[in-house]
Amino acid sequence: MNKNTLFAHTTTGYKHIQMDLANEDSIDLWQNDPYQIIAIADGHGARECFRSEVGSSLAVDVAIQNLKLFAQTVDKYDLDHVLQNEEDREALIRSLIQDIVDNWNQYVYADIQAFPIREEEYQRAQTLSSIYQKGMYLTNIYGTTLLSALITENYILILQQGDGVCICVDQNGFLYQPMPDDALCIRNITTSLCDKDASRRMRYVWIDRRQADPVAIMIASDGIDKSFQDLIHLQAFFGELCLEIKDLDQEKIQSYFAHLLPEISKRGSKDDTSLAGWIDPSKIEAVKKELEHYVQVAHNMDRLKSAENRLHHEKNAKKHFDMEKGKLESRVQKIEKEIEALQEEKIELRKNLDALEMLHSKQVNACKDAQHSLDEANGRFVRSLMSLEEQKKEEQ
């Protein structure tokens, strides 16, 4: 294995596979001691950018060609002293950036000449179709971001236009993002190589390796960046990545990414995912504990989040239980009041029933007395009839 490990891998996004869309990311690397170059470009997914996968491929090619020429020119003309001066360095790197943007535009128009835009492609552009057919803003069709890094013995130069992420690991195992943010990159909106002010908007970082020498540089498209919920998990991912591949050969590294990136896309952004990097395996080993700490912090954060979710779930369950308990208690109280009212009604009915039973008893006795009087009257009546009959017989 070489002293340094260089890698680059891309995979079609989970959503793109489902929709039968092409991978709009492009990646490449180049190494020829003492230079190494990595590059990633993420073509825009908008319907108006219907050749963005071509645009991203051209961006990667242009970046590597120009960074290679830049490194060779610095060495050939001994321009290291120029890079040491901030003002001169700014002018030199801005000239490089202008060349990259200009070359990309030239390649785009050459592609249009070689492969004229078809009617069905114009139709895909919808609202911009008429503008494109007038020959205006044609570079938008190839819109793409760009993120690349040149690693030499004395310095590192990182360029970025648009979104994506760059993570470095310093000699103490600290993970950091060297590139300043672009205020115009918000959510799914990003700056692009097709912008009119692309050369001015492109950001760069120059690192003097004699003063601060990273042990790893990793760049990724936003498909990876957006697959992690926060910086802690993103840093843990890159930290674990360094630990996983530091002892692997190129074949195993490619196999590792071929399995890893589709899973990241599926579980995360669903977008195309691309990753490239440069690491010094021997120095990664020296900061192994520090990198493991990033991973452990993320795991602890996950456990904390899981515990918080469980607490939230249990609180909601308790709240639901308390609500149901309150309903049942209210119902019990209502029923108890109903029972109490029924008890009172029962007592009142019992009193009424007792009164009726006493009245009934009196009525029964009255009926018996009336029957007795009736029987006596009837007896007297019968006896008087019999007496009358006897008198009639005597008179005859």
Percent of the chain past pLDDT 90, that is, above it, reads 86
User: Is the pLDDT at 2 greater than 60, yes or no?
Assistant: no
User: Is the pLDDT at 357 greater than 50, yes or no?
Assistant: yes
The pLDDT-based confidence of 64 (bands split at 50, 70, 90) is very high
Are 151 and 58 in contact by the 8 Å Cβ rule? The answer is no
Across the chain, mean pLDDT equals 94
The pLDDT-based confidence of 239 (bands split at 50, 70, 90) is very high
3-state secondary structure of 25: strand
Sorted by sequence, the CB contacts under 8 Å of residue 225 that are 6+ apart come out as 163, 164, 165, 234
Say what the pLDDT of residue 165 is.
97
Residue 83, phi then psi, degrees to nearest 5:
-65, -25
Closest CA to 220 of 180, 165, 268: 165
Are 192 and 145 in contact by the 8 Å Cβ rule? The answer is yes
User: Is the pLDDT at 59 greater than 70, yes or no?
Assistant: yes
Stretch 125-151: mean pLDDT: 94
Residues 203-214 pLDDT 10s: 999 999 999 999
Quickly tell me which residue has 């294995």 as its tokens. 1
Of the two residues 292 and 394, the one the predictor is more confident about is 292
Percent of the chain past pLDDT 70, that is, above it, reads 99
Closest CA to 269 of 9, 8, 12, 7: 12
User: Is the pLDDT at 396 greater than 80, yes or no?
Assistant: no
Say what the pLDDT of residue 1 is.
37
Are 42 and 144 in contact by the 8 Å Cβ rule? The answer is yes
Say what the pLDDT of residue 381 is.
86
Say what the pLDDT of residue 388 is.
83
Phi/psi class of residue 220: alpha, beta or left (left: φ > 0; alpha: ψ in -120 to 50)?
beta
Name the strand (E) or helix (H) holding 43.
none
Residues 375-395 pLDDT 10s: 888 888 888 888 888 888 887
Are 83 and 89 in contact by the 8 Å Cβ rule? The answer is yes
Say what the pLDDT of residue 7 is.
97
Say what the pLDDT of residue 352 is.
93
Are 182 and 162 in contact by the 8 Å Cβ rule? The answer is yes
CA 225 to CA 227: how far, in whole Å?
6
